[in-house]
Structure 1
Amino acid sequence: MAAPSLLRGAFRRLFAGLWGSGWVSPPARTLREVVEVTEGNTTIIEGKIIEVAEAPTPPNPSGQCPICRWNLKHKYDYVDVLLLSQFIRSDGGMLPRRITGLCMEEHRKIAACVQMAHRAGLLPNHRPLLPEGHVPRKPRLNSFLLEEQKLTELIAKSVFPPPELENLVSDSLVRQIRKAHLEERT
């Protein structure tokens, strides 16, 4: 009596394994496009599998952390909120290294950039929940120096104002600013 039930159980496991292993079902990670075809009175709705291009390979696949692998070592700043938000929790704290996969050096740099972004007010949605009845103090609103490129763009805009604003600034002042700017460049 026990032998037939054991055999049935073994066959079920065998066929369940075949069905689950991909003989019957398509691969799990595919995109499908729903196609509706109407022929006379019949409507056929089918899902066609879309071929997806492979993910790009990193330029430095032997790098030990994601930032080293994609050659981003000295190319990010506290202003790159999209990059920083990948390494922080919803309450604004840093995720641990074992989860992010960052090396120690990059983890420290990312932590410093996250702290600077918090202080500059660039991550407003990543604040810890305050206890009930707690009144937060007024933020200090830190601001940091702009990078050299951004600073020169701002200087150029202030030295050479747009034509519609030139008539508001006195001509002698504009000439003095332009002269000082040209002397600095030489």
Structure 2
Amino acid sequence: MNRTTNVPDTCSTTEAAQRLGMAVRSVQLMVDRGELQAWKTPGGHRRILRSSLEAWLAARAGSASTALPMAGAGPAGSGERPLTLLLIEDSVHFQNLISLVVKRELPEAELHVASDGIAGLAMAGRLEPDVLLIDILLPGIDGAALITSLRSHPQFARSRLIVVTALDEAQRAPYAFALEGVPLVHKSALVTELPALLAEAVAAQPA
């Protein structure tokens, strides 16, 4: 009988969730979005390719620790800090799309990206960004609770919040307490509506 002792090439959503530090539902959504490669067994269970899991982790490690300097940003040693933005978004597709919009609208800004709420909260504390762009639905943390925390914490009093979401108005109802008075853009309208929100956030920065 042909028996192998190698680590299998696939894993369950539960195993993937433990590896990523996320909820199983978040992993299922990642599969649905095509961010992880998987198929279903005859019994209806998802089997996730370990290679795609490791690739996602590698991409996340790079994006969470690396700033994306925009063209024209001042040198690291210059005395004046560039406009700093932090994006907390778990979808690589929307990370890339928002990065393109920011690069076009704010070429001298510095954009940092976190792929989950816990990493994002840590980066927010370190960076104290001028503008925070946050998704409501995030792996590892309640996005509404994160938004509420950031709004109420004195450390982030100068940070301008922009919420990005794929939820429609009815789906956002449970988060109304966190979203009241916060600029919001639906992910389907990022290209057309985000530029104006970014301009308003920058204009509101203290002189």
TM-score by length of 1: 0.24
Bigger CA radius of gyration: 1
TM-score by length of 2: 0.22
Larger RCO: Structure 1 or Structure 2 (Cα < 8 Å, ≥ 6 residues apart)?
2
